Each structure stands twice: as structure tokens, then as C-alpha cells.
Structure 1
Amino acid sequence: MFSLFRSSVRRLFLLSLLVFFIPAHSQTEQTSAYINDALVVYLHSGPGNQFRIVGTLAAGTEVIRLNEENDYAQIQYDTNKTAWLPKEHLTFTPGLRAQLSLLQTTLTEQNAKILELEQANNQYQADLNLLSQERDKIQEELTQSKRQNERLSTEISETQASFWQQPMVLGGAILLFGLLFGLLLPKLIPQRRNSERWM
């Protein structure tokens, strides 16, 4: 009978250890949490309203949940301070203040990227304008070269045409033709007479 009592006590003891150990373990697990979007949360020295108020925390403050008892949670804040507050004031997602801070940081980064892209775009636009000016200058020089080439071609054509129209050139050509004709004609005529005599 004593052994039966001892085994029953042992079972009860093990069962009580399991019952108390598992909740205690789960409640002492430290997790990051945030104060919900209530404007100000009062902190108490113990798990209830009957304990004195030891401070306040603003909405969105990041804390560490240490333990839970009844409807209160023990938290750690400001590195090493601990206090209790109603569990309803804790949330495990960042509050509006944290989200706003994150959005402001993202907005600042995006604005910096936009400014950088605008500066790069302005630089590209300036380079494009410079290249356009150089292209226009080259096209103008090419147009001027074409005009000068056409003008020189016209002058050469006019010079060649007017060369034979000059009186001295024309007279010299007639004189040369007459001289050649006068020198060659007497040589051709006597040869014919001589050839007729021999016949």
C-alpha cells in the first residue's frame, strides 16, 4: 500500500511539474513587441492596476516582452528597465509611428535616387545638346563646302568656255591654222605636178 501511495505521489508530482513548467517556459520566452497605437501607456510596478505607476511609454515604442500574468505582460524597455502593462497594449507588428518612420526613410532614399537620376538625365541632356550643336556645325560646314565646290566648278567651266572666246586666243589659233595650212599646201601641190609629168 505504501508503494502504491508513493507511485501516486510521484505521478502527481511529475504531472504538476509538467503543468507548471510548460506555461512558465512559454511565458518567460523573450520576444520583441511594440506598444500599440494608444497615445500613452502607463507602466506599473506589478501585474495589476493596484501596483504603482512607474512610467509611461509612447505609441510605437519597441519593447521586449519578458513574461505574462493574468491580463498583464512584463516588458523590458530603455535597455534595462522592466515594468508591467495590460497585454492589450502590446502588438507584435510595428505601429503607425514605426511604419511612418520606415516610410519616411524609404521616401528619403527614393528622393535621393530620383535626384541622382535627374542629375544623370541633366548630364545626358547637356551631352546630347553638345552633340547636336557639333552635328549642326558639321552640317553647316558641309553645306558651305558644297557651295564652294559648286562655285569653283562653275568658275572652272566659265574659265574654260571663255578661254576660247578671248580675241588673242582665237586670233592665235587662226594664225596657227593658217601657218600650218600655208606650209603644208605648197608641199602637197608640187608633188602632184611632178607626178603628172612623169606620166
Structure 2
Amino acid sequence: MKHLISFFLFCFTLISPIANAEQPHYISDNLYTYLLKGPGSQYRIVGSVNAGEPVTVLETNKDYSRITDDRGRNGWVESKFISTDVALQERLPKLETELTTVKAKLAESLATNDNKHSELNSALAQRNSQINKLETRNVQLQNELTVAQDEVRSLRAKIDTQKDDLLMKWFTYGGIVAGVGLLLGLLLPHITPRRRKRTNGWA
């Protein structure tokens, strides 16, 4: 069992440098680091690597890693200065492009919202105008209805008065006719001459 574990550890040791070599690495942003001849500060400085430059990690020895920079130079740098994050100088153009796109979409969205808001306001104003017209017309109709009702009541009152006057006239005419008839009935016997009775010679 111990031999099997040792074999796996050995394989992992061999694979690790290959995996590190395949994954892109970058020197941490906002600094530069010295490129050393060996894995330690006691070794001679052979150059420097600027922040954000891509490097290839060949191997790691405790706190130092052997790298190859984009100019083909080999050397050792402190491992803490190496990052797998994409350098800021490479991310910045993409971020600026994304920011421009987002701003354009935001401006388009705001313009669309403004148009919709303007259309809604216009529709609302039109509806309010229609409502005001309908309310005004309703008031006019109510006033006309009130006037018409007053005229109807007035006409009904006149009709009732005319009926009463007509009845009074009929009663008056009837009384006059009855009076004239009564008067004639009283006068006619006195006006018409009486016929004398004939006397026969029969005793």
C-alpha cells in the first residue's frame, strides 16, 4: 500500500509542472518583479518582468517558480507574484467594450421608456379630454332634461286648467239651457190663446 501511494505521489510530481505549463499565468498587477538566475534572493538578477505580462511556469521550488516570459527569457521569480487571473491590461479593453455596449443598451432602453412614457401620457391626456367632454355633455343633457320636465309640468297644468274651464262652460251652458226651458214652460201657457168651448142646443 505504501508503495502504491508513493507511486501516485511520484506521478503527481511529474504531472504538476506539465499542468502548470499549460495554464496561462500572469505577473500580478500594479508591480514588477525581478527575474533571478536561481530560486532565491541570493541569486543574480537577470532582468525584470512588468506587471500584467503573460508568463509560462516551468517548475516550482518552494517560494520561487521558474518561468519563461513572452520574450523567451528564463528565470526565477517569487511565486506570490504569479497569478492565474488575466492581467488587467488585457481585461481593460474588454471591460471598456462591455461598458460601451451596456451604456448603449441603457441609452436605448431609456429612449424606449421615454417613448412609451410619452405615448402613455398622450393617451392619458386624450382619455382625460374625452372624459371632460362627456362630463360636460352630461351636464348639458341634465340641464335640458330639467327644462323639458319643467315644460311638461307647465303644459300639464295648462291642460288641467283648460279641462276645468271646459267643464265650467258646459255646466254654465247647461244651466242656461235649463233656465230658458223652464222660463218658456212657464210663459207659453200664458202666451197661447185659449179656445172657447162650444155649447150645443141640447138642454
How does the TM-score come out when normalised to structure 2? Answer: 0.52
Q: State which of 143, 156, 159 in structure 1 corresponds to 2:151.
A: 159
Q: Report the alpha carbon displacement of residue 156 of structure 1 after superposing the two structures with TM.
A: 1.2
The answer as to 2:63 corresponding to 1:73 is no
Q: Helix, strand or coil for the counterpart of 1:68?
A: strand
The answer to whether the aligner puts 1:136 opposite 2:128 as a matched pair is yes
CA distance in 1, matches of 2:26, 2:105: 31
Q: Deviations over 1:92-112 (max 9, x none)?
A: 234555676676566555544
Amino acid at match of 1:75: T
In 2, Cα distance between equivalents of 1:159 and 1:43: 112
Give 1:59's aligned amino acid: A
Task: Work out the CA distance in 1 between the residues paired with 2:26 and 2:131.
Answer: 69
Structure 2 counterparts to residues 120-199 of structure 1, below 5 A: 120-163=112-155, 173=162, 177=166, 181=170, 185=174
In structure 2, the CA distance between the partners of 1:152 and 1:38, relative to structure 1 (3 Å rule), is closer
* Distance in 2 of aligned mates of 1:22 and 1:117: 53
Report if aligned partners of 2:27, 2:49 keep a CA contact under 8 Å in 1.
yes
Q: Give the TM-score of the pair, scaled to structure 1.
A: 0.53
Checking the alignment, whether the CA contact within 8 Å between 1:74 and 1:82 is kept in structure 2 is no
Separation (CA, whole Å) in 1 of partners of 2:67 and 2:90: 21
**For 1:19-168, what aligned pairs fall within 5 Å after superposition?**
23=13, 25-29=15-19, 30=21, 31-37=23-29, 39-41=31-33, 53=47, 57-65=49-57, 67-68=58-59, 71-75=64-68, 77=70, 81-88=71-78, 89-95=81-87, 97=89, 107-108=99-100, 110-163=102-155
Q: Which has the larger radius of gyration?
A: 2
Q: Is the Cα contact below 8 Å between 1:33 and 1:62 reproduced in 2?
A: yes
1:93 counterpart SS class? coil
| Coordinate RMSD, CA, aligned | 4.6
Contact in 2 for aligned 1:72/1:84 (Cα 8 Å) = no
1:87 is paired with a residue of what secondary structure? strand
Alpha-carbon offset, residue 85 of structure 1: 3.8
Q: After TM superposition, give the deviation of residue 153 of structure 1 in Å.
A: 0.9
- How many residues are aligned here? 160
Q: Report percent identity of matched pairs.
A: 19
Seen in structure 2, the aligned counterparts of structure 1 residues 128 and 40 have a Cα distance that, compared at 3 Å, is same
Contact 2:32 2:50 in 1 (8 A): yes
- The amino acid that maps onto 2:59 is E
Secondary structure, aligned partner of 1:82: coil
